[in-house]
């Protein structure tokens, strides 16, 4: 069964450093998403991406964040200068747009020290 994969599973970085979180969505999917979950809090929408551009973003997704689909298989989330409050689990999801399900990856736990 096809699945969304994410790497790394855990990333530790120092405050102010840049991080790139990587996702491989399901191959025939067209819509891509990033969500995050700060420990003990809700899963929050960050951004959706379709047809090589951002289709929607939340207030959290400020200028420090960017997304890219550098090739036909990867979807990345970059945080330019990490803050302590960026520590969270980051989930990638994808969908083909015709079904009612977004398929989620296992997440990347980002720890900013």
Residues 90-109 that bind another protein (CB under 8 A): 91, 93, 95-107
User: Is the CB of 62 or the CB of 101 nearer to another protein?
Assistant: 101
- Cβ burial of 83 (10 Å; 0-12, 13-18, 19+) is exposed
Residue showing tokens 């951004």: 47
Number of residues that bind another protein (CB under 8 A): 29
- Binding track over 49-78 against another protein, x by CB under 8 A: -x----xx-x--------------------
- Asked if 45 interacts with another protein (CB under 8 A), we say yes
Report the nearest approach of another protein to the CB of residue 40 (Å): 9
> Cβ atoms within 10 A of the Cβ of 4, count?
21
41 contacts another protein (rule: CB under 8 A): yes
User: What separation in angstroms does the CA of 45 have from each of 13, 17, 18, 61, 78?
Assistant: 22, 23, 21, 9, 15
Is the preceding omega at residue 8 within 30 degrees of 0, hence cis?
yes
> Which CB atom, from 14 or from 40, has the smaller least distance to another protein?
40
- Residue numbers at the binding site for another protein (CB under 8 A): 4, 31, 33, 35, 41-45, 48, 50, 55-56, 58, 91, 93, 95-107
């Amino acid at each position: 069964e096809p699945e969304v994969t994410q790497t790394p599973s855990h990333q530790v970085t120092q405050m102010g450093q840049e991080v790139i979180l990587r996702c491989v969505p399901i191959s025939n999917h067209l819509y891509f998403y990033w969500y995050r979950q700060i420990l003990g809090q809700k899963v929050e929408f960050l951004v959706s991406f379709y047809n090589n551009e951002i289709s929607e973003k939340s207030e959290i997704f400020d200028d420090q964040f960017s997304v890219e689909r550098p090739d036909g298989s990867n979807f990345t989330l970059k945080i330019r200068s990490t803050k302590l409050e960026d520590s969270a689990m980051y989930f990638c999801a994808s969908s083909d747009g015709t079904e009612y399900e977004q398929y989620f990856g296992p997440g990347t736990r980002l720890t900013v020290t």
